[in-house]
Amino acid sequence: MLFKKSIDSLIKESNESGEGTLKRTLGVGNLVALGIGAIIGAGLFVRTAAAAADHAGPAVTLSFILAAVGCALAGLCYAEFASMIPIAGSAYTYSYATMGEVVAWIIGWDLVLEYALGAATVSIAWSEYLNKLLENFGFSVPYALCHSPFQTSPDGISGIINLPALFIVCLLTFVLIRGTQESATLNGIIVILKVAIVIAFIAIGWGFMNPANHTPYIPVNEGEVKFLKGQEGFFDFFTHSFGKFGWSGIIAGAGVVFFAFIGFDAVSTAAQEAKNPKKDMPAGILISLAICTVLYVLFGHVITGVANYTEFAGAGKEASVAYAIEKYMHNYHWLSTLVTVAILAGFSSVILVMLLGQSRVFFSMSKDGLVPKMFSAVHPKFKTPYKSNLIFLVFVGLFAAFIPGDVVGDMTSIGTLFAFTLVCIGVIVLRKTDPNRERPFKTPFMPVVPILGAAVCILMMIGLGKHNWERLMIWMVLGFIIYFAYSVKHSVVRKNQKLQN
């Protein structure tokens, strides 16, 4: 048996109120801000320059559009599920209703890679940028106290613990425990700040663009030219030249900047706290994705126009935005400092939303008996899953304090893409198995949109390389050990179906 969770029971659960339930406080504005807060962060301020320097050149704007198309396809599938199953848990809940408990467990366990490890990775980046800001005022955190024990400085100093990364995880966890509405308010302030800074950079930087930096817009890939002319075989091209500029560089760049879009699905994890989830969830997902795509394309166009993309492979690799401002946008040093502040704020809101998403996924899994009850314990006053927040504070805090950021960074992407793929497949499955179910929002052009969405996500997963696939497999094996040792025995759905039989 697949042990599926009844959609009727999910909807009934979403309408419950009282002790042990989450408080509905979020409107469509909060959800759009939540989405923008999760999306604009490390991806925009860090990955844009990396993708331009290594893969796409000025055509990084096209990479953003390609990645956005893939996310939009998955987003349309998320929107259908979020409107008809308005409950916390995101892809985990959707897969439980469509493909059964085993797939739901895989997704729930997999989402730890997206949310918990993603929060740890961004908190480590937050620590680095905090130091850059402090250096402007003549201060700095000693190397040993802001780096992992596995890292050593060029001067031979070994790291001990990353205290700033641990600090921001602790601070934002306690904000979340205080309440979702309070967290959404803080996030809304941060979103306004960082969007204002991004728009300021675009508006001011537009006048400093050098047209020569955009010529050629798509740098030539000699291997790609030979392949298209039939002078080089596909294997040689794929091994040596694929992704090194040209049209293949745009595709590879899309895989890199995909990290910049991670987070829009976090809106769906807050469905049980939305005031009008059937209407507001699709709007929150799609509007936040659309706003961020426009900002990304304009931002990529301006930064590669102000500084030549080749500079981001060398001197401008670190803090690329500040580099472009200080070298080419004279008399705007104040903007460089503000951009660093915006980056810190942006990272903070990403961490906040990822921690919120993680606790809500495990809240749902705990309600279903797949993880211990402590993950669904709700604070009597604040109505938040405070024990879950505290447990993930320890888990995320350990990674943030003691593990280098690059070890877990790409695992976030592959975990997210895997979740997106199963959501796309789930929409098709549910249309076949439950065609008469009310769908306040319907994914258009069925089944083309979900099929294309799954295909694009799988293509990006392949592009992440074998090492990330190996890490994903190890993580999944660990998850199955927990599932068969604990979850099978405590599953509420299994117990109910066995009683019915």
What is the DSSP annotation of 293-312? Answer: HHHHHHHHHHHHHHS-GGGG
Token pair recorded at residue 362:
């495990």
What pLDDT, on the 0 to 100 scale, is given for residue 396?
A: 93
For residue 330, the one-letter residue type is H
Distances (CA, A) of 484 to 92, 369, 374, 475: 18, 13, 19, 15
Q: For residue 90, what pLDDT is reported?
A: 63
What integer pLDDT is reported at residue 479 of this predicted model? 93
Q: What is the pLDDT of residue 19?
A: 47
Distance CA 92, CA 106 (A): 8
Rounded to 5 degrees, φ, ψ at 24 are -85, 105
CB 329 within 8 A of CB 16: no
Amino acid at 162: N
Our CA dihedral for 31, 37, 40, 45, rounded to 10 degrees, sits at 180
Task: Give φ, ψ of 219 to 5 degrees.
Answer: -55, 145
Q: Is 1 helix (H, G, I), strand (E, B) or coil?
A: coil
Token code pair at residue 310: 């080749």
pLDDT, position 468 = 78
Give the closest residue to 408 by CA, choosing from 348, 341, 354, 457: 354
For the chain (501 residues), the mean pLDDT of every run of 10, in chain order, is 72 57 68 76 75 90 89 84 66 78 88 83 85 82 89 85 94 83 67 83 94 93 82 75 83 80 68 68 80 92 94 74 86 82 80 83 88 88 85 92 73 80 88 84 89 89 74 91 93 83 65
Say what the pLDDT of residue 11 is: 67
What is the predicted pLDDT for the residue at 278? 67
Minimal CA–CA distance to 25: which of 382, 356, 279, 275? 275
Q: What pLDDT was estimated at residue 262?
A: 75
Q: How many residues are listed for the chain in this entry?
A: 501
CB 129 within 8 A of CB 345: no
d(CA 263, CA 285): 10
Contact 188, 30 (CB under 8 A): yes
CB atoms within 10 A of CB 269: 30
105 and 124 Cβ atoms separated by less than 8 Å: no
Residue with tokens 């994903």: 472
Contacts of 433 (CB under 8 A, 6+ apart): 98
Supply 390's token pair.
């505290």
460's enclosing H/E stretch is helix 448-463
359 residue type, one letter: S
Measured from the Cβ of residue 292, the count of other Cβ atoms closer than 10 Å reads 27
Q: How many CB atoms lie within 10 A of CB 215?
A: 9
SS (H, E, C) 2-55: CCCCCHHHHHHHHCCCCCCCCCCCECHHHHHHHHHHHHCCHHHHHHHHHHHHHH
Tokens at 241, concatenated: 């030249």
CA angle 194, 136, 49 (to 5 degrees): 50
Residue 313's pLDDT is 84
Distance CA 288, CA 417 (A): 19
CA angle centred on 73, ends 410 and 449, rounded to 5°:
130
Architecture of the structural domain at 30-491: Up-down Bundle (1.20)
CA separation for the pair 211, 215 (Å, rounded): 7
H-assigned helices in 207-258: 222-228, 234-240, 246-257
Task: Give dist(CA 387, CA 17) in Å, integer.
Answer: 20
Among 240, 195, 202, smallest CA distance to 221 is for 240
The one-letter code for the residue type at 152 is: T
